[in-house]
Each structure stands twice: as C-alpha cells, then as structure tokens.
A and B are shown apart, each in its own frame.
Chain A
Amino acid sequence: MSTETSPAQRERRGGYLLAVLTILWIVTYFFARGFLNDPGPSTAVRVAVALLPIPFFAGALWRFIGFLRAADEFERRIHLEALAVAFPLTMLLLMILALLQRAVTLKFEDWSYAHVWYYLPIFYLGGLALARRRYQ
C-alpha cells in the first residue's frame, strides 16, 4: 500500500493540524486565566500554568508559517497586505494607550496588555478581509 500523499491531502492535513493547535492554544489560555485567578497554588505551579499555552501557540505558528510557505504568490500578497494594515494599527493602539496612561488612570481590568493583545489578531483578520475584498 502506498503511503504517498498528494499536495491537496498534505494541505488538508496541515489545515487540520493548524486548527487543532489553535483550539488547544485558546483552550489552554482560558484554562490558565481561570486557574491563575486562584492565588492558592504555589508560585512554581502558577508560572508553569501561565506558560502552558506556549507550546500550542508555537505549534500553531509553525503550521501557519508552513501554510504561508506553501501558498501561491497571490495568497502571500494578501497576507502581506493584512500585515501592512495590522502592524500600524497595533502601533497606533499601543501609542494611544501609552499616552492615555499618562493622561488618566486606565483600568487594569480593561486596558492592560493582558487584554490589549486580543486586538492584534482582530486587526490582522480585519486586514485580511480588506485585502481579500480588494482583489475580489
């Protein structure tokens, strides 16, 4: 029996792996957030749990880079344009927050970097939507 796989099959497997690793990353992140609300466990355990999402994030990133390397030049252009939107928006958000922090006291629960990082994938997905719309 042949174990060879077609490029489409490999792409599909890579897509599944990316989805699974992304879900595991999100699940471990929310688990860690919930767990760290309890001040009971020792510092070593708390640090270990805080670092728990890293391997899943690294795995998802590795698959995403693999997807981009395998993508055609058009798909790469779209992701480049998405990044060109997301990066300056991230800079702007951080700059405004830094200035606002000097002007007023921002609530840690709403505006610390524990929350602001959510905006980065949102900016990237927004950039992707804009780029795809441009080429439709």
Chain B
Amino acid sequence: MRNRLKVLRAERDWSQADLAERIGVSRQAVTAIETGKYDPSLPLALRIGRLFGQPVERIFFDGEDEPAEAERSHLPIAER
C-alpha cells in the first residue's frame, strides 16, 4: 500500500520523530509506513487521518489508485 505520509509530514516541516511522537509509535514504525513496507492497523491509520485532518483514503491508497484519484474519491460521483 502506498501513502502520502512523507509529503504531509514535509508540508508541516515535521521530522519522522515528531510524527512518531504525535501518533504514539516509534520512528522506525514511521519509516516503515512511509516506505510502504508496513501497513498500519486501522486504529493507527485513523489516528494519522485525524492528525492531518484528512480521511484515511486520501492518505493511504493501493497501487492502482493514484493520489489524485484518491483526492477525488471523497467527492460525490457527479463532481469527479
């Protein structure tokens, strides 16, 4: 699974350690999530979504679903 975690973190000028502290995991966990090697549990993904003020599906997406598509996916079908 891919994600926009690194971009969102960079936008806020947070280090991996900063983000790790905010979501209550280790820095290694953040590294593994950012590189797509580890998929977070649903509670952790929801915590990340809440922290960035975005729905989970706008942060995490599978290989076929590009970020732009993920961005649009929360809109009503008629507006896409």
Contacts and interface: CB of A to CB of B under 8 A. Distances in A.
Nearest to B37: A135
Contacts of B32: 74, 135-136
Interface residues of A, number: 8
Contact of A75 (B26, B31, B37, B40): B26
Contacts of A136: 31-32, 37
Interface residues of B, number: 13
Contacts of A74: 25-26, 28-29, 32-33, 38
Contacts of A75: 26, 28-29
B26 A72 contact: yes
A72 B24 contact: yes
A14 B33 CA distance: 27
Contacts of A135: 28, 32, 37-38
A77 interface: yes
A115 interface: no
A72 B29 contact: yes
A69 interface: no
A38 interface: no
Nearest to A72: B25
A74 B16 CA distance: 15
A107 interface: no
B36 to A, nearest CB: 11
Interface of A: 72-75, 77, 134-136
Interface of B: 24-26, 28-29, 31-33, 37-38, 40-41, 44
